[in-house]
Amino acid sequence: MESITAADASHTLIHLTDAEFEKLTGFVYQTYGIDLHRKRLLIEGRLANELRSRGLSSFSSYMEVLFADKTGNEMNRFLSKITTNHSFFGRENEHFDFLLNTALPYLEPRRKGDLRIWSAGCSAGQEAYNIAMAMDQYFGPRKNAWDTTILATDISMKVLSEAREATYPESSLAGLPQEWCSRYFTPVGNGNYQVIERIRREVVFKTFNLMDPFVYKKPFDIIFCRNVMIYFDAKTTANLVDKFYDATAEGGYFFVGHSEAINRDRTQYTYLKPAIFQKLSSESNLK
């Protein structure tokens, strides 16, 4: 394996060859559905320090390490570098307003004590905990009669570890009502806040690749997959939306990010409003 000296490292700019670029992006696309074919400079920039710190002189040498690792740690490290795991509480708050004022009032009389909820591509957990807080806010004293456990998945073990810790800087809470900040968080020092245990218990975090087959005991009533499909091309996005549709219970809701385009002519979901869809048969109604 080729290497470079520490003295040369800081002055060497390592570029992807065409063959390396095709091999790396092809693998990521086939395995994770992430389309990096227009991200050559991003890959080189975000991995430059990684290669230099290891004394590697080429991406071929790096890929030897990446593909040889059987633990998954190297791939998770790589994915964390090329994707943006930026999230915060109250992101696209109109989704949570819709959840509280429309979706849950529709679902409550149609379900019997059990709501199936999935936060897909949950990053560091803010979205999943935000959903749990909305559930707590909506059901109030009726909450004990309901199972609203939230499945939260991501491909990155690193962000899932952060999610389970549930500790966030004060700045990431800015989008929440002050009442929620006081009710659902505990200050833990250094300007950080931790989600209270009662809400943490509502979320189950698991590693999952959305390109894999979906396996579930019962379909989901609420699915959030926001700002995840921005990494996918149109074909992968369409196929993934079909998989989500099949995994959605009749009358269930599907939330995507406002920056994500869903082909409304192709999907079987019923469009409700920007970035919000519902699974409705021709016999269904919203009364």
User: 119 near 224, Cβ under 8 Å?
Assistant: yes
Question: In whole angstroms, how large is the CA radius of gyration of the chain?
Answer: 21
- CA–CA gap between residue 72 and residue 4 (Å, rounded): 26
**Side-chain-facing half-sphere of 167: CA atoms under 13 Å:** 8
Respond yes or no: is residue 46 known to be catalytic: yes
If residue 20 lies in a helix (H) or strand (E), which one and from where to where? helix 18-32
User: Residue 35 gets which letter from DSSP?
Assistant: -
- Give the distance between the most distant pair of CA atoms in the chain: 71
- CA–CA gap between residue 287 and residue 277 (Å, rounded): 16
Catalytic residue among 40, 46, 77, 111: 46
If residue 151 lies in a helix (H) or strand (E), which one and from where to where? strand 150-154
Respond yes or no: is residue 136 known to be catalytic: no
Q: Outline where DSSP puts E strands in 12-123.
A: 117-120
Tally of residues, the chain: 287
- CA–CA gap between residue 96 and residue 102 (Å, rounded): 10
Catalytic residue among 52, 154, 200, 226: 154
Catalytic residue numbers, as ranges: 46, 154
